[in-house]
Amino acid sequence: MANGTAVIAGKSFYEEGTTKSKSGIASWIFSTDHKRIGLLYLISIVSFFIIGVIIAELIRLELIAPGETIVDAETYNRLFTLHGVIMIFLFIIPGIPAVFGNFFLPIQIGAKDVAFPRLNLLSWWLYMTGAVLAITSLFLPGGPADTGWTFYVPYSVRTGSNVIFALLAAFILGFSSILTGLNFVTTVHRLRIKGMSFFKMPLNIWALYATAWIQVIATPIIGITLLLIIIERTFGVGIFDPTLGGDPVLYQHLFWIYSHPAVYVMILPAMGVVSEIIATFSRRTVFGYKMVAFSSLTIAFVGYLVWAHHMFTAGLSETAAVVFSLLTFIVAIPSAIKVFNWVATMYKGSIDPRTPFKWVMVFIFLFSIGGLTGLVLGSLATDVHLHDTYFVVAHFHFVMFGGAGTIFFAAMHYWFPKMFGKMYNEKIADIGVYMFLISFLTLYFPMFLLGYNGQPRRYFDYLPQFQTLHVISTIGAWMMLITITLVVWNLIHALRKGEKAPDNPWGGVTLEWQTSSPPPLENFEEMPNVPNEPYDFSHLTGIKDGSK
Amino acid sequence: MLYLEVTSHAEKVDSVMLYITVISLIFLIGITATMLYFVYKYNRKRNPEAKNIHGNFWLEFVWIVIPTILVLTMFYYGYVGYKDIKADPGEDALTVRAVAQMWKWEFVYENGKKSDTLYVPSGKPVRLLLVSLDVNHSLYIPAYRVKQDVVLGTTNKLIIYPEKTGDYDIACAEYCGLKHSMMYTKLRVVDENNFNDWYAKK
């Protein structure tokens, strides 16, 4: 530990911190304990997620009928921009790595903390600074940005709304992301417990490791791009605006060179969690462990080379379009491999489909739809028709929310007993999973049909023939609101009234299940045993694991 | 207008869509059914002891190679359906400048005639030269399954091949501010005589 605190036997990290103040808010917001920082992120990220959900409900309500329903066009444009910025930069990009990565990466490799605990705390502060800046822009004259989360030039250079604030916020959030990435890469290289070679690491660590590299390498590009817009807006230097001699398509290139790899920052950590949960509840090793590990790295690498598939209609040369379309199809392969390996991991397993496993089953179904519809968008002929329509909106909600979002819930239910030392009501949690699946399909599936029938995205108003599908989608949004409320309420209720959780409620074999629930300050009272292989359940036969 | 195919290009796009969708559905149903079957068959109640299987080289080889071949065919059909609208039709095409600005379209013909509706004759290729006066827009004709961004500072080109006469929606597909969603106009395809009459009128 950085400050050399001695571990007092039997105390959890809730009872013992790294700060001078023993309790109160200061013992949290100045704590360098990776677990407390993970929980700080959890509270912040879930709060922004809920704000994002509320905005989405307003958007869906507005779209229940053509024309103005509850807000005017200007407000609507600001709402969908805010929804995008909040969900992408404040929820889904930091999401799993910042919360569950922070909490479990050191524990799963048998370390006491991350390599740079103070830098880790700085990351959270930067995250909060960026978030506060974004929120401040709501209340300044000019109002929040109305450009969409992509900030496309020249519109973003010309609009009167507070684009600079939103850009600065995104810039600072970028630094938070880079520092977390740097921390994780170093931690994985330097702090693995003796005996844990790279190929003994849990697949969650592989996924976080691949993600961290993307964060370190790709994020600076968006930082530079956002700075260039600020320079252009403030000093009138022609970079992207053609009236000043710039090129708007250059902006799109720079934006997507970051933002496409960022898609993998969102989904790769989720894929890591999926491997953990399937192995634990199937009680067997992951099928094709090395293939799953390498596919994370392949996705991270090839993911850099597909950015222009967001720009097939922008006026790319035919050659560029062909190359990027081909590479886009290639990047689908490692994701497909993962899905096949996950299903194969269930083969001849001993499956106990508890709540986290059910979330993962929902994930596999929704993420497959998201991935397969991505093939439609990677194909040139169909993309020219579907680009910037609701088909794209449906596709990325299946991948991001159905994929990464679902696994945020899965991870929450999987690690909840370890993080808080409490059990939740599994019956209610299961009902939440079923409701989630139904609400999700009602909410997003109609959007595929809307898109194929030619409804463009970011539309305040729409043609009357689209109304039926919009109404179904809005009803789905209400169902989703009820579902999320139920799921969150069930967990909050468990925090207050839940039964005490055993140390290893699911019979997991990764190192976090060898310590107490919740863990002590430096994670382990005695050094954990590193298994011979990453998912070795052989010694677990007959263990008391709390499962019925 | 739902799924009506009014040009041969639209038919082509729909057939690519159908091809990808059918293969995707086979995979989706296969994956989901296998997963549900395994969860039933290898439920801990029926199968208390798991069997550790680390992998199988040939199986993994097969499920890398087959999807790769399939996605390459998807890529190919997608490319073929894209290439035909990119080729310039040459001299017998009608050239129209499509001028976009917040939040309306104006179509300027070679004889100087201007219109806010895009009149074209059926059976003759049309070369649209896309120009923006302010920010980026995108000219989108859903019934034709085509769109092309209108980028400030460059002149992008969109070729269309009108066949059946009738009115079709033109939408703006690139977000352009306040009235982006109201930036609709019509593509009016008429037969050649009617077009010539309209074109000659001052």
Residue A119 falls inside a structural domain: no
B148-158 pLDDT, tens digit per residue, is 999 999 999 99
A263-296 pLDDT, tens digit per residue, is 999 999 999 999 999 999 999 999 999 999 999 8
Residue B16 falls inside a structural domain: yes
| A291, B60 Cβ separation under 8 angstroms | yes
Residues B49 and B121 in one domain: no
| A121-139 mean pLDDT | 91
Residue A205 falls inside a structural domain: no
Closest-CA distance, A38 to chain B, in angstroms, reads: 33
Residue B11 pLDDT class (50, 70, 90 cuts):
very high
Residue B3: its pLDDT value, please?
60
Q: Which domain holds residue A66?
A: 26-110+263-540
Residue A318 sits in a domain whose CATH number is: 1.20.210.10
A547 has a pLDDT exceeding 60: no
Residue B85 pLDDT class (50, 70, 90 cuts):
confident
Residue A476: its pLDDT value, please?
98
| A87-101 mean pLDDT | 95
CB contact under 8 A, B83 and A318: yes
A539 has a pLDDT exceeding 80: no
Nearest C-alpha in A relative to B18? A376
Residue A4: its pLDDT value, please?
40
| A80, B181 Cβ separation under 8 angstroms | no
| A239-252 mean pLDDT | 90
Q: In whole numbers, what is the pLDDT of chain A averaged over residues?
A: 92
Q: How many domains does chain A have?
A: 1
How many whole angstroms from its chain centre is CA A119? 21
Residue B2 falls inside a structural domain: no
SS3 readout for B130-161: EEECCCCEEEEEHHHCEEEEECCCCCEEEEEC
| CA distances from residue A245 to A237, A251, A478, B155 in whole angstroms, order as listed | 9, 13, 47, 15
A7 has a pLDDT exceeding 50: no
Residues B62 and B33 in one domain: yes
Of A173-182, A322-331, A530-539, B6-15, the least confident: A530-539
| Chain A residues 368-387 with a CB less than 8 Å from chain B | 368-369, 372-373, 375-376, 378-385, 387
Looking at B32, B58, B86, which one is the last position of a domain?
Answer: B86
Q: Which residues of A touch B59 (CB under 8 A)?
A: 344
Residues B55 and B104 in one domain: no
Which residue of A385, A388, A395, A545 to mutate against B (max B Cβ within 10 Å)? Answer: A385
Residues B77 and B59 in one domain: yes
Q: In whole numbers, what is the pLDDT of chain B averaged over residues?
A: 94
Q: Which residues of A touch B44 (CB under 8 A)?
A: 283, 350-352
A216-237 pLDDT, tens digit per residue, is 998 999 889 888 988 888 888 8
| A126, A172 Cβ separation under 8 angstroms | yes
Residues B54 and B20 in one domain: yes
| B92-114 mean pLDDT | 95
Q: Which domain holds residue B124?
A: 94-200
Q: Which residues of B touch A359 (CB under 8 A)?
A: none
Residue B177 pLDDT class (50, 70, 90 cuts):
very high
**Structure token pair of residue A491:** 């967990």
CB contact under 8 A, A315 and B148: yes
The alpha-carbon radius of gyration of chain A (Å, integer) is: 23
Alpha-carbon distance of A507 to B54, in angstroms, equals 20
| A72-93 mean pLDDT | 94
Residue B149, beta-bridge partner list: B138
With b for 16 or more beta-carbon neighbours within 10 A and e for fewer, the A393-414 pattern comes to bbbbbbbbbbbbbbbbbbbbbb
CB contact under 8 A, A74 and B143: no
Residue B1 falls inside a structural domain: no
Looking at B53, B86, B119, which one is the last position of a domain?
Answer: B86
Q: How many domains does chain B have?
A: 2
CB contact under 8 A, A465 and B24: no
Where are the alpha helices (H) located in A379-455, listed in sequence order? 380-386, 390-399, 406-420, 426-452
Residue A159 pLDDT class (50, 70, 90 cuts):
confident
Residue A12 falls inside a structural domain: no
Tell the residue number behind the tokens 């409620």, with chain if given: A505
CB contact under 8 A, A159 and B171: no
Selection from A227, A188, A222, A228 nearest residue A97 by Cα: A188
CB contact under 8 A, B75 and A378: yes
Residue A163 pLDDT class (50, 70, 90 cuts):
confident
A&B contacts, CB < 8 Å? 259
Residue A1: its pLDDT value, please?
37
Tell me which amino acid residue A314 is.
Answer: A
Q: Does A529 touch chain B (CB under 8 A)?
A: no
A472 has a pLDDT exceeding 90: yes
Residue B106 sits in a domain whose CATH number is: 2.60.40.420
Residue B44 sits in a domain whose CATH number is: 1.10.287.90
Compute, in degrees rounded to 10, the torsion defined by CA atoms A507, A512, A516, A521. Answer: -170
A477-520 pLDDT, tens digit per residue, is 999 999 999 999 999 999 999 999 999 999 999 999 999 999 99
Q: Does A73 touch chain B (CB under 8 A)?
A: yes
Residue A206 pLDDT class (50, 70, 90 cuts):
very high
| A101-115 mean pLDDT | 96
Residues B17 and B67 in one domain: yes
